[in-house]
Amino acid sequence: MQKTFNVLVVDDDEDDQYLIKLAFQKDSIQYNLQFATDGSDVLENIESPQFLPDLILLDLNMPVINGFEVIKHLKESPIYRHIPVVVLTTSTSEADINRAYELGVNTFVTKPANHQDLINLAEQIRLYWFTLAKIPTRRTNHTKGA
């Protein structure tokens, strides 16, 4: 039986969104990708989500609400706190890395400058999180709990 995975990509760069989409389409496993261009898109739907992701790819540097605020709200939400969050950003700042992990992200990865390298990185993220790692079962109901 083929499983479908939901991935939420929060990134304001349309080129990066497209390249991530290409990387996820290279597999026979079905992926439903949902895109948000800034943190406000995510936070508006956090308490009554229409799309529950199995993995969240999150940029830090976005307009309106930055990635750190999004992480904070995700990890405080009983609906989202168990979902793995991968920070995928241009930042190499040690302060950003430390703050992201302190807020509860699962992985911090710096985006490469080259488009092909970004596709390769997104493929590696996809393979790791959906082939090698074991992720929590997607919650189909919105009940509170650990």
End-to-end CA distance of the chain: 28
8 A C-beta contact, residue 32 and residue 2: no
The residue count of the chain comes to 146
Residue 28: what pLDDT?
60
pTM, entire model: 0.89
How does DSSP assign 25-59, residue by residue? HTSSSEEEEEEESSHHHHHHTSSS-S---SEEEE-
Domains of the chain (ranges; CATH) run 11-132 (3.40.50.2300)
- Binned at pLDDT 50, 70 and 90, residue 55 comes out as very high
In this prediction, what percent of the chain has a pLDDT beyond 70?
A: 89
Which residue, 45, 32, 109, is CA-closest to 77? 45
List, for residues 56-65, the tens digit of each pLDDT value. Answer: 999 999 888 9
